[in-house]
Amino acid sequence: MIYLKNGYMIDPASGTKGYRDILIKEDKIVRIAPQGALETELFANDSGDCNAWTAAEDIVNIDLSGQYVAPGFVDVHVHFRDPGFTHKEDIHTGARAAARGGFTSVVLMANTRPAVDNPETLAYVLNKGKETDIHIHTCANVTKGLQGKELTDMETLSKLGAAGFTDDGIPITDEGVLRAALRQAAKCGKPVSLHEENPSLITNNGINEGSAAEHYGIGGSPREAEISMVERDLRIAVEQEADLSIQHISTKEAVELVRQAKKKNRRIYAEATPHHFTLTQDAVIGQGALAKVNPPLREEADRLAIIEGLRDGTIDMIATDHAPHSAEEKARPLTEAPSGMIGLETSFSLGMRELVNKGYLSMAELIEKMSHAPAKLYHLAAGYLAEGGPADLVVFDPNKMWTVKSFVSKAANSPFVGENLPGVISYTICSGRIVYRA
């Protein structure tokens, strides 16, 4: 048993905020009580002896004074590169990085090699995920081989455990294929998540067509590449009865399109990454390939629009798009280096610094967007704290600072190395076991 006492609990599902003591037995939360209420109940009766129901139990007693306790974070957009690219990351190292960042559940993207477009690869990922300390879920592909032409057997893949469907990394350019995919996903009760960049408009992806592209004297990715795809896909989604998520939104225009579409269809969702609400294309000028991502970092007005979208609920969730690459790959010339940065270990702290400490979101709102909201979209038993509920929790100290020096991930492709960030993850508890401690 684990007894967490004197922690300030935030549960976005119930709206609970206040000091609570929490008792965990096996993989469940068995008691949540006001601060101090469990002390006598657990450890002593009138004779000063241990209560009978706890006498035979080994209790790990943790005093959380000054710290917060919340549902374990949920990231529904990560790349663990397994199978096929395990020199960058694998399911085990990715899971450890997630635990260090306070995440107890993640949903993997399916652009692996082989792709997750068949039962065998899906089984491989899920079975390997069961060997880790956290909950590993995975999407399957929308189309076979990520070719955008023929739908996968979505019904079978759903029954075998696919959490949702995406061709992330590659947009679905065929309108008919997308319509068919949304209809099939609706029958399965699973969301479809879309990467929104029209490749026909892009010269060099990962770099905004603006001051960053001009600095390097190259083409880039214009904002219209995202806007046009988002506009089309939201139009289609409004006509459907499927859950659709716009991934890693990057432009102010796309934020507004989502805002208006949500008024017509409540089954439309959007996610934002920490790097898109923290950085602009100036980071690419300063750090080159370390800040090269798809879609690219854009302008200050876009960054502020994303923050406003998070603030007013247009953007439902924060997802890292954790995208590991080797140092050798990122050292290539800018136009040849792959896009992406890791994010699991810095996500919460960036959310604190950029959103909470600057007054855009409350701590409870940040936790909602990092736990309950993504879990709800993907129908995961996660993102809440309740008696009888899963013992998946994160404990953090918002008043402590830490310096980004090294990572648990295999990769280190982050532009935040060397920065001092607020918010230290003290414990990550998954299925009733401490899987990370500072």
Active site residues: 321
In three-state secondary structure terms, 166 is: strand
In three-state secondary structure terms, 63 is: strand
Amino acid identity, residue 398?
P
Half-sphere CA count of 320, side-chain side, radius 13 A = 31
DSSP tag of 355:
I
Write the burial class of residue 255 (CB in 10 Å: 0-12 exposed, 13-18 middle, 19+ buried): buried
Q: CA-to-CA distance for 362 and 10, rounded, in angstroms?
A: 11
Phi, psi of 435, deg, nearest 5: -105, -10
Let me know: does 144 contact 151? Beta carbons within 8 Å: yes
Amino acid identity, residue 42?
L
Let me know: does 75 contact 378? Beta carbons within 8 Å: no
Locus of tokens 């909950």: 135
User: 400-423 as b/e, with b when 16 or more CB fall inside 10 Å?
Assistant: eebebeebbbbbbbbbbeeeebbb
For the chain, the residue count is 438
Q: CA-to-CA distance for 429 and 436, rounded, in angstroms?
A: 7
The two tokens of residue 93 are 């190292």
Q: CA-to-CA distance for 422 and 354, rounded, in angstroms?
A: 10
Quickly list DSSP for 260-303. Answer: HHHTT-TTEEEEE-HHHHH--THHHHHHGGGG--SSPP--HHHH
Q: CA-to-CA distance for 55 and 22, rounded, in angstroms?
A: 18
Rg of the Cα atoms in the chain: 22
Crossing angle, helix 175-188 and helix 223-239, to 10 degrees?
Answer: 50
DSSP tag of 72:
P
What sections of 118-206 are H helices per DSSP? Answer: 119-129, 154-159, 175-188
